[in-house]
Amino acid sequence: MTNPETVATGASLPALPIPLAPAPSTHVQVKGYTTRDGTVVAPYQRKAPAQTVPQSDIDPGSEGWLVIKYAANDGLVVQYAEDAIYQDAIEGAIVEAKTYGEFRRLLPDGEWETVVERLGVPEGWEDADEAWYDDPAFDWNTPFDATLVGGFCEGDYPAWAQAGMDNVLPEELLDKYATSGSSAHNGPYWHIPHESAEALIADLRALGYSVDDGVNYLRGW
């Protein structure tokens, strides 16, 4: 059995940038990860941005660190920073992985246990007596098929962030800026037009949030 943690790497991973001072244990932390081209995405913490600048040079915001993305449907996506990083890691693993071992390695910590329940059976393992991923005979260098990730092609996995913005935005701002929209394939979501970004960011900052809207390189919406 090939170790999924070591296949298809070809070289040791570059060191992650030194993160900011650790947040209190009540804050969610997301492990950093490395893309196929060698780009390192540093760990992210809700109360501090993934930067290597001195702590005194930033204001993490008393209410949390939010990011805003400009989606292709002309709506905004508002997420906690670590949620956006986590979603980007999942999307990156799905679209970049060439083998099943690489896919498993690129996923953020804990996500394999979730996504494995969504994975279709690889070709040749349809009649196996046990789950293919638990079988010592499974070759983790088997080419990865992203279409076997249930819900990915349909837009249901990772979860559609625009559908959950009521769990991020304060109710008064949701009422002020968002309207309830509906997708023919994915159901209801919250739509905030791109042109509302400046006013929304100002209101969020007034409430004590730190907001970054220069993160459209992050995948997923």
If DSSP states are collapsed to H, E and C, what string results for the chain?
CCCCCCCCCCCCCCCCCCCCCCCCCCCCEECCEECCCCCEECCEECCECCCCCCHHHCCCECCEEEEEEECCCCEEEEEEHHHHHHHHHHHHHHHHCCEHHHHHHHCCCCCHHHHCCCECCCCCCCCCCCCHHHCCCCCCCCECCHHHECCCCCCCCCCCHHHHHHHCCCHHHHHHHCEEEEECCCEEEEECEHHHHHHHHHHHHHCCEEEECCCCCCCCC
**Residue found by looking up tokens 């098929």 in the block:** 145
- The pTM of this model reads 0.68
Q: Which tokens in the block code for residue 19?
A: 């993160």
Quick one: pLDDT at residue 59?
52
Quick one: pLDDT at residue 123?
87
Q: What confidence tens digit (pLDDT) does each residue in 80-97 have?
A: 999 999 999 999 999 999
Residues shown for the chain: 221
Quick one: pLDDT at residue 165?
95
User: Are 75 and 67 in contact, with CB atoms under 8 Å apart?
Assistant: no
Tell me how far apart the alpha carbons of residues 98 and 178 are, in angstroms, rounded to a whole number.
39
Q: Is the pLDDT of residue 114 over 50?
A: yes
Q: Phi/psi class of residue 117: alpha, beta or left (left: φ > 0; alpha: ψ in -120 to 50)?
A: alpha
Q: Is the pLDDT of residue 71 over 70?
A: yes
Q: Model confidence at 148, in pLDDT bands (50, 70, 90)?
A: very high
The one-letter code for the residue type at 82 is E
Return the closest-CA partner of residue 84 out of 73, 70, 68: 68
Tell me how far apart the alpha carbons of residues 145 and 148 are, in angstroms, rounded to a whole number.
6
Q: What confidence tens digit (pLDDT) does each residue in 37-55 have?
A: 444 444 333 333 333 333 3
Tell me how far apart the alpha carbons of residues 84 and 79 are, in angstroms, rounded to a whole number.
6
- Look at 43-52, 67-76, 123-132 and tell me which has the smallest mean pLDDT: 43-52
Percent of the chain with pLDDT over 90: 51
Quick one: pLDDT at residue 174?
96
Tell me how far apart the alpha carbons of residues 75 and 194 are, in angstroms, rounded to a whole number.
5
Q: Is the pLDDT of residue 108 over 50?
A: yes
Q: Model confidence at 162, in pLDDT bands (50, 70, 90)?
A: very high
43 or 160, greater pLDDT: 160
Mean predicted confidence (pLDDT) in 90-112? 94
Q: What confidence tens digit (pLDDT) does each residue in 179-207 have?
A: 998 777 778 899 999 999 999 999 999 99
Q: Model confidence at 78, in pLDDT bands (50, 70, 90)?
A: very high
Mean predicted confidence (pLDDT) in 210-221? 83
28 or 199, greater pLDDT: 199
